[in-house]
Amino acid sequence: MSDDSSDVKPGPKGPEQPAVEQSPENVPAPTGEVHQVGARHGMFGVRGSGDTSGYGGLDQAIVLPGDAQRPYGGWFDEVADGLAAATRDAGLEIAAPRVVIHRGEITFHLRREDLVPVAQILRDDDRLRFEFCSGVSGVHYPDETGRELHAVYHLLSMTHNRRIRLEVAVPDADPHIPSIVSVYPTSDWHERETYDMFGIVFDGHPALTRILMPDDWPGHPQRKDYPLGGIPVEYKGGTVPPPDQRRSYN
């Protein structure tokens, strides 16, 4: 490497060098809000022992990918512009969604009151045409205070061959999200499943009942505070605890 660089001689006046803070590569990347959803303590899942390795004292924040800045690149901008223009045309008061782009997938984080009008526009507008809803998936982030329960919608535009994701977060204390069954009838069972598993109440759903668990089941099994269950297994004198009580890495 040093051999190569020694061959490159600066010109008579030296290269044009803008001030350090003006050169584009030195401008710090614009940072959006940091979305911490929890913290990781320790390393090997050991608690309360005299850990002298130092790993037990590690504290790491769990941070999800941050907000994307314009331009998003590719068709992401077309969708974002189309959505903004279509909401303007429809005269709707909708907060600009927070956009996350990670690994080539785009996510629009919406307020819950905006979900149904946005879904309607996404489905019907010529520029967007997301005519296929792949369903609703719930995620429980118990440590993200005030936004514990997330509902994630995957939409597909067969016309333009594009996929986007909508995400709505609500507090555990008020787990209500408007139902999009009126826009995408396919989300009927998906919303029932998300209600069953997470306790998110989809207001306006035609018949929001449990679907996989029995009707009289207490609790919502996919929440992080719901135990996995299981019994210890004995084999040849040894006892193996159930999976959620085994020592685990974190």
Q: How do the residues of the chain divide into helix, strand and coil, expressed in percent and rounded to 5?
A: 20, 25, 55
Stretch that binds another protein, among 23-31, 48-56, 71-79, 189-197 (CB under 8 A): 189-197
Q: Of the candidates 16, 29, 49, 103, which one interacts with another protein according to CB under 8 A?
A: 103
Q: Of the candidates 97, 110, 190, 208, which one interacts with another protein according to CB under 8 A?
A: 190
Q: Of the candidates 32, 51, 56, 64, which one interacts with another protein according to CB under 8 A?
A: 64
Query: Considering only CA atoms, which of 74, 85, 70 is closest in space to residue 162?
Result: 74
Question: Minimum Å distance from CB 104 to another protein?
Answer: 8
Q: Assess 209 for contact with another protein (CB under 8 A).
A: no
Contact at 8 Å (CB) between 179 and 194? no
Contact at 8 Å (CB) between 157 and 128? yes
Helix (H) or strand (E) holding 123: helix 115-124
The tokens describing 163, both together, are 């996929």
- Gap between the Cα atoms of 227 and 244, Å rounded: 8
115 or 164, CB closer to another protein? 164
Q: Assess 189 for contact with another protein (CB under 8 A).
A: yes
**What is the pattern of x (binds another protein, CB under 8 A) and - over residues 130-169?**
-xxxxx-xxxx-----------x-x-x-x--x-x-x----
Separation of first and last alpha carbons in the chain: 41
What is the number of other CB atoms lying within 10 angstroms of the CB of residue 90? 13
Q: Which residues bind another protein (CB under 8 A)?
A: 37-38, 40, 60, 62-65, 102-105, 107, 131-135, 137-140, 152, 154, 156, 158, 161, 163, 165, 184-190, 193, 210-214, 221-222, 228, 243-244, 248-250
